[in-house]
Structure 1
Amino acid sequence: MNDISRPLEELHPNERLKHNSEQLRGTLRESLADPVTGAVTDDDTQLTKFHGIYQQDDRDLRSERRKQKLEPFYQFMVRLRLPGGVCTTKQWLALDELARQYANGTLRLTTRQTFQFHGVLKRNLKAHIQGINATLLDTMAACGDVNRNVIATANPWRSPVHRQVYDFAHRISQHLRPRSRAYFEIFLDEKPVARSEPEEPNYGRTYLPRKFKIALAVPPDNDIDVFAHDLGFIAITEQDELLGFNISVGGGMGMSHGEPKTFPRLADVIGFCRVEQVLDVAEQVMCVQRDFGDRKDRGHARFKYTIEDRGLDWFRKELERRLGYALEAPRAFRFETTGDPYGWQKGTDGTWHFTLSVENGRVADHPDYPLMSGLREIAKVHKGDYALTTNQNLIIAGVSEAQKSNIQSLLEQYGMVGTRRQSALRRHAMACVALPTCGLAMAESERYLPSLIDKLDVIMHEAGLADDPIVVRMTGCPNGCARPYLAEIGFVGKALGKYNVYLGASFSGERMNRLFRENIGETEIIDSLAPLIRDYAQQRQEGERFGDFVIRVGAVKPMLAGRDFQQPTA
């Protein structure tokens, strides 16, 4: 018997909640209208995720508010559904205004190629969502047990193939979007439909066991870390023509400290599909997970565990049975990097694109760096788009030859180029939000990584490596939002001021890292990494990346399978 066919009382409480939610409505309307508290009910807190919203509180204020006998300072994080990560400059300006009107005055570019607003109060939440909707964007299915935001190799302006892949991200997102009208009724004041609303065609009454993530890559760029996702499509081209995609399944980054049954896992390539088969494959892969994923243990409910437990042969047979045809053999491909090409790049159509490094994705004004204001001014005159990358950076895309000098002048005026030169290490680093708002955070991440990079930059400069990229990622907990297990140097929060340090992932995102030091603070981090960085500068082979070097010299062994990730290192 599959879990989905078991009696609800045998399954996780979240399954009963989803089943009884009237297709994600719950009592959200009443919770949002309650003026007594800044929160929504516990059940509704789970349901808000399906609408792209997380309830949080400011953990910096918890203790003081508790002393004052006040409830936590509740607020909401709002995440957009933005398949392929592109917005118009008009939309950017509207989102900028909404951030200053209803949120904390900043925009956050995420590792899933979309925007997050932080600090939205409950009394402003509905108006905020309606403001997003007015831009022709939405937050539906940006969180929750559904297919999440579909990501793709950044910037459809780069070439016709990139445009095709971007279009597929949109088509997949739309095809797998929940059909419930709850979002429209609760937040956009649509007249409620009769409760005989048809059941979700791809989800049923209990949706998926956990979240599901899809990514599309255009080799040789693996900027989206395709193997970190439940389902990946790797573009196969011939003479600039898109033939189809290799299909990878079973990736995922999350785990729990000290629970060896949980682990990050890289996806496996199982076959090739033609372009006309993409939507069918995406739907049926997700529906296999819908029907066979673990609905009793949410810690074991991701697709990677379904693949790990049942095996690739079982999965391929089940998928092909549903498709009604066999997948073709995988085609050859090659990845070179997970990074972004910074500065000016020229597209195949003659337009220009400027990739701007945005530290940890936080678009804000600082006393010495008015980044948010500068991007606002560029958006007022730029006739192309803004494209987000999954490395938390921003591309000013589709700049004409005639307009390039004007954009360059604004970049210089607001300090985005010229004197403000970031090191290669900083440009290849990213962090999750963590404290003070993420309820799962065990340690700092976004607020701490810049200062740690300052110290590592000194070592890199002294070793003559100032211009050499090393992929560095940090998260405040082991859930892996910034994909730290695919970093050449990964930091994962264990406690306040303490991190597990992982080494040895590949620069191209095709090998995970391994635990190097456990539960250490900044002094020990610097003391343990400095000798390796110096040795790398002196002993590396031609073209050798840091992640490959630390394996060659025996600092860590290569991580060959996710199931071994939490095994003792000795």
Structure 2
Amino acid sequence: MADGKLSKLEGVKEASGFLRGSIAEDLLDSEPTVKSDNAQLLKFHGTYQQDNRDERKGGNKSYSFMVRSRIPGGKVTAEQFLAELDLADQYGNQTLRVTDRQGFQLHGVIKGDLKATIRGINEIKLSTLSACGDVCRNFMCCPAPHADSPIHEEMQSLAKKLALHFAPRSSAYSEIWLTDGDEKVKVSEIDFNEPIYGRTYLPRKFKMAVALPEDNCVDIYTQDLGLMAIVESGKIIGYNVLVGGGQGMTPAKKDTFPAIGFKLTFATTEQVVDVCEAVVKVQRDFGNREDRKYARMKYLIADWGMPKFKEKVEEYFGGALPEPHPTDVTGVDDHLGWHEQGDGKLFLGINVDNGRIKDEGDFRLKTALRVILRKYGMETRLTALQGILLCDIKPEDRADIEEILKSHGVALAEDLSLVRRYSIACPALPTCGLAVTESERFMPGVIEALEQTMAEHGLAGERITVHMTGCPNGCARPYTPDIGLVGKARGKYTVYLGGNPEGTRLGFLFQDLVPEAEISQVVAPVLARYREERHDQESFGDYCFRIGKEGLAAS
């Protein structure tokens, strides 16, 4: 990192007393907001201060907080799931959101309920610590509950191990949220110890995920650090380590960009945690702390090049690192529908449109989940496509569970198009402060229009992935699917084509500033050409990539 003036947030972190700031004092007053510095520090504790733009009256803002639970691999017990639903009803806006990083989000929590909400999440043995902020975020992993597969269990165990390894050590979290004492802790009396992060943590957020080559359901190429399990003779022998993925960009900064990861090395199962720590520490010490728009690790790698980056990782690791294994990603699964678990039981994957668990009219997913989880008490898993897996189902209970879902207006996987099953969207308006236009609330209409257009062209059964975000920051990973829709201006989107469901390739900018009502019209001619010109078994994204932007523009 060049010598220069550090960004303001670096000073906030430095002076925070390891994430304490004056948060505890801020929570005691009657104001609906917290001070700006504390709003930044609260992200490390798993919550964002937000303003609901739908509820602004006379220029006055309507403040609340989003609270995010950090759930490694998306593994949630029935009790934890039900408790999160209760918290959503008691303190939130009566909806619970499954994130595209396998976590939960509560929206609409007011400041006076923030402590009770976070404490409630910890009481069910979940946590919000480092779900946001300049730290290693939630550790993603393929959630498939294959009981006969030690490979899946080993990956999920690694995700949990990494989550514990990279969790902040500061006691600020427990002091602020989990204690009742009114006595203020003097910073001078605190024994600080953040062996991985140091006093100012990371330059920017850091994302990790673990997957298999045949099922990249967590998009390891889009992560700062992705781990691809290498399996030989039915055993994981190690992991290919991918570095430098990241989906955000800033249109006003032409040299910012989305990126997919580079293959760094192969790490054995014994080495993988240490290699991950070396990568994180290199980013900690050399990532850009002057301009947060360039603070993700992808910019460090772009500046240095991979040979220099690998050399520095080897220095921190303490030894030479081999070349990556030749294995690469080959497939992806949404895990929806009924599946054999391998132990005589079943699991069921349920689609959740854009991750929002709610009751609305005849659609009563929240109530259906309450009924099922109370009756059967099964473990659940959250997917990176914002779905839910109900695990450990006895075959004789299948018909009853299906009936409960259908009677509450919840469609089964076989009744949904693949384009709907493989679509995700970020929350965007009205609460996200970065959103420039709609995403979650507009996505159902986009999918309906695409379903109709695809049916008109004889493509109703095709798997086409669609990711949508309300701004270019890319939280729903919009730059790698077949079709990416990125909010650019009010009611207008940038359309990207040419990615793929496997998440191994960036799409290209096909058309900019497309009005929301014209998205399907813009894609329709390309779908028509795809229908006539595709090669055997060629996916829509592969076709677009082969023809290229200029070729498609002639549609």
Contact persistence 1:223–1:338 (CA under 8 A): yes
Partner of 1:216: 210
User: Deviation at 1:52?
Assistant: 0.3
Counterpart-to-counterpart distance in 1, 2:455 and 2:245: 35
Partner of 2:336: 342
With over 3 angstroms needed to count, the CA separation of the structure-2 counterparts of 1:266 and 1:418, relative to structure 1, is: closer
Partner of 2:81: 92
Partner of 2:392: 398
User: Deviation at 1:377?
Assistant: 0.9
- Which of the numbers 182, 185, 197 marks the counterpart of 2:175? 185
User: Deviation at 1:252?
Assistant: 0.4
Partner of 1:434: 428
User: Deviation at 1:469?
Assistant: 1.2
Counterpart-to-counterpart distance in 1, 2:301 and 2:42: 29
User: Deviation at 1:402?
Assistant: 4.1
Counterpart-to-counterpart distance in 1, 2:386 and 2:412: 21
Partner of 2:14: 19
Partner of 1:562: none
Counterpart-to-counterpart distance in 2, 1:464 and 1:557: 22
Listed as ranges, the matches of 1:418-567 within 5 Å are 421-555=415-549
1:2-35 superposed Cα distances (whole Å, 9 cap, x missing partner)? 56xx68xx21111111000011110101111111
Partner of 2:282: 288
Counterpart-to-counterpart distance in 2, 1:555 and 1:411: 43
Counterpart-to-counterpart distance in 2, 1:114 and 1:262: 27
User: Deviation at 1:154?
Assistant: 1.7
1:279-313 superposed Cα distances (whole Å, 9 cap, x missing partner)? 11111110000000011011111100011101111
Counterpart-to-counterpart distance in 2, 1:556 and 1:522: 23
Counterpart-to-counterpart distance in 2, 1:23 and 1:103: 28
Q: Quick check: 152-161 or 87-96, which moved more?
A: 152-161
User: Deviation at 1:418?
Assistant: 5.7
Counterpart-to-counterpart distance in 2, 1:95 and 1:221: 29
Letter paired with 1:291: D
Letter paired with 1:506: N
Contact persistence 1:237–1:243 (CA under 8 A): yes
Percent same amino acid among aligned pairs? 44
User: Per the alignment, in what secondary structure is the counterpart of residue 99 of structure 1?
Assistant: helix
**Structure 1 residue 117 corresponds to structure 2 residue 106:** yes
Counterpart-to-counterpart distance in 2, 1:256 and 1:85: 30
With over 3 angstroms needed to count, the CA separation of the structure-2 counterparts of 1:332 and 1:383, relative to structure 1, is: farther
Listed as ranges, the matches of 1:149-228 within 5 Å are 149-157=138-146, 159-189=149-179, 192=185, 195-228=189-222
Counterpart-to-counterpart distance in 1, 2:121 and 2:109: 13
With over 3 angstroms needed to count, the CA separation of the structure-2 counterparts of 1:350 and 1:141, relative to structure 1, is: same
User: Per the alignment, in what secondary structure is the counterpart of residue 23 of structure 1?
Assistant: coil
Listed as ranges, the matches of 1:355-394 within 5 Å are 355-394=349-388
Contact persistence 1:288–1:318 (CA under 8 A): yes
Task: Mark the runs of 5 or more structure 2 residues left unpaired by the alignment.
Answer: none
Counterpart-to-counterpart distance in 2, 1:196 and 1:86: 34
Q: Quick check: 262-271 or 523-532, which moved more?
A: 523-532
User: Deviation at 1:556?
Assistant: 5.2
Letter paired with 2:112: R
Counterpart-to-counterpart distance in 1, 2:335 and 2:145: 14
Letter paired with 2:173: Y
User: Deviation at 1:329?
Assistant: 2.7
User: Per the alignment, in what secondary structure is the counterpart of residue 265 of structure 2?
Assistant: strand
Counterpart-to-counterpart distance in 2, 1:105 and 1:232: 34
User: Deviation at 1:150?
Assistant: 0.6
Letter paired with 2:76: C
User: Deviation at 1:231?
Assistant: 0.5
User: Per the alignment, in what secondary structure is the counterpart of residue 312 of structure 2?
Assistant: helix
Contact persistence 1:355–1:394 (CA under 8 A): yes
Aligned residues: 548
- Which of the numbers 393, 400, 410 marks the counterpart of 1:416? 410
TM-score normalised to the size of structure 1?
A: 0.93
Q: Quick check: 196-205 or 482-491, which moved more?
A: 196-205
Task: Mark the runs of 5 or more structure 1 residues left unpaired by the alignment.
Answer: 559-570
User: Per the alignment, in what secondary structure is the counterpart of residue 276 of structure 1?
Assistant: coil
Counterpart-to-counterpart distance in 1, 2:330 and 2:551: 22
Contact persistence 2:145–2:341 (CA under 8 A): no
**Structure 1 residue 107 corresponds to structure 2 residue 101:** no
Partner of 1:254: 248
Contact persistence 2:46–2:132 (CA under 8 A): yes
